[in-house]
Amino acid sequence: MFCKNCGCEVSEGTKFCANCGAPVGNAPQGASPVQNVQQTAPAQPAYPMNGNAGTPVVPPKKKTKVWLIILIIAGAVLTLSIIVGAVVLHFARKAANEYIKDFEDQYEEIEDIDLDSLEDAVDNLGNLDLGTDTDSDTKSDTSPDFDFDEPDDNEPAENAGSEGALTKYSYADVTTSGTDINVVPNGGLNGSTRLFNGNDKDLNGFLDYVDSDVLEKGRVINRDFFYGMLACMLVDKDLISDKDSIERNMIMALAMANNFHDMKVEINSCDLDANNAEVYRYHVTAYDDKDDIWVVNYNESTVFFNDGKTEYHSTMFENEYLAVWMVAIEEYYGLN
C-alpha cells in the first residue's frame, strides 16, 4: 500500500504516512501525528538560489562599456601629447630665435670690417699660399730662412758645439743642429712691436681693435699666446719682412690665439725640421700648468695634443674664418 500524498510505501493498518504525515486509508482528515507544532517556512535569502541546493546565485554584473573607457583614455593621451608638443615647439623656436639673434649680434659687433669684402678675401686666401707643397724642393717663405752654414755677422752664434749653435734674434733665440731647429721666444715681440715697415701701428693697438670690433662682445684674443706663436713664426724683424709673409703668419697665429682665447697657454719653445718647416712642435704649459707638446701642421691644417697623439678638431683653419683675420689685418693696417 502506498501513501496517496507522497507515494511512499506504508504498512497495512497504518493510519498516517511515516514520511509526510498524511492520513492513510480511512484516517480522519486534518489529523497529524505531531500536535501543537507550528511549522514556519524558512526565511528566503535576499538572493535567489541556483540549481545546487544552498548555493547562492551571484547577481550578474552590469556590462561595462570598455570601448568608451578606451576612447576616453586615448583622448586624454592625445590631448596631453598636443600640449607637450606645443610646449616643446615653443621652447625650440625660442632657442632657435635666440641662437639666430646671437649670431646676428656677433656680426653686428664687427662694425669696422667691410663684410662685403669677406667673399673676396676667401678667394684671395689662395693667393696667400698659407701652406706649402711638401713635395716641392722650394722652401716656403712662411718660415724663417735660417743659414745653416754660418750665422750672419750681425747675429753672432753663441755656444757653438755639439749641442748646436745658438743665435739670438730680435723676436726669438734659435739653436740649430744640422736640420733641427729650436726656437725660444725671448719677449722681443710684444704689444709695442711694429711689424710692417713704414707703418706706425703696433700690435697692441691692432689687438685692441680685434677685441672691440672683430670678436663678439665679451671675448678677447689670447695675447700672450699670440705673441709667442708669432715670435716662433717670424723669429726676427729682418728674416721675414715682406707684407704678404707677415700677413700669412699673423692670420695663422690669430686663428690659434682666438680658438684658445679662454685657455692659459704659454709657449716655452718650438721645434722645427728644416726639411719640413710647416710642422711646428710647440712645447707649451697649459691645462693648469701641465707641460705638453702641441704639433701643428699649417700645411695640412691639423692640430695634435699629447705629443702628437691626440688630434684636436676645429674649424679655425677654414677659409671663411681665416678670411675674417685677413680683412681685419688689411683694414686696420691699411694694406692694399
For residue range 239-266, list pLDDT tens digits in order. Answer: 888 899 999 999 999 999 999 999 999 9
283 has a pLDDT exceeding 90: yes
Are 301 and 88 in contact, with CB atoms under 8 Å apart? no
* The predicted structure's pLDDT at residue 63: 52
Kindly report the number of other CB atoms within 10 A of residue 120's CB atom: 13
Are 247 and 263 in contact, with CB atoms under 8 Å apart? no
* The predicted structure's pLDDT at residue 37: 37
Q: What is the mean pLDDT of the chain?
A: 74
Are 287 and 243 in contact, with CB atoms under 8 Å apart? no
Cell numbers found for residue 177? 743642429
Confidence of residue 313 (pLDDT cuts 50, 70, 90): very high
Helix (H) or strand (E) holding 103: helix 66-108
Among the ranges given (15-24, 69-78, 150-159, 320-329), the one the predictor scored with the smallest mean pLDDT? 150-159
Nearest Cα to Cα of residue 227 among 247, 244, 207: 207
Each domain of the chain, given as residue ranges in start order, spans 1-33, 80-109, 116-333
Amino acid at 227: Y
140 has a pLDDT exceeding 90: no
* The predicted structure's pLDDT at residue 122: 46
For the question of whether the overall pTM of this predicted structure is more than 0.75, the answer is: no
More confident site: 4 or 30: 4
Q: Quick one: average pLDDT of 267-283?
A: 93
Kindly report the number of other CB atoms within 10 A of residue 13's CB atom: 8
161 has a pLDDT exceeding 90: no
Our CA dihedral for 209, 215, 217, 220, rounded to 10 degrees, sits at -70
pLDDT, one tens digit per residue, over 95-135 is 545 544 444 444 444 444 444 444 454 455 445 454 444 34
Amino acid at 303: V
Rg (CA), the chain: 51
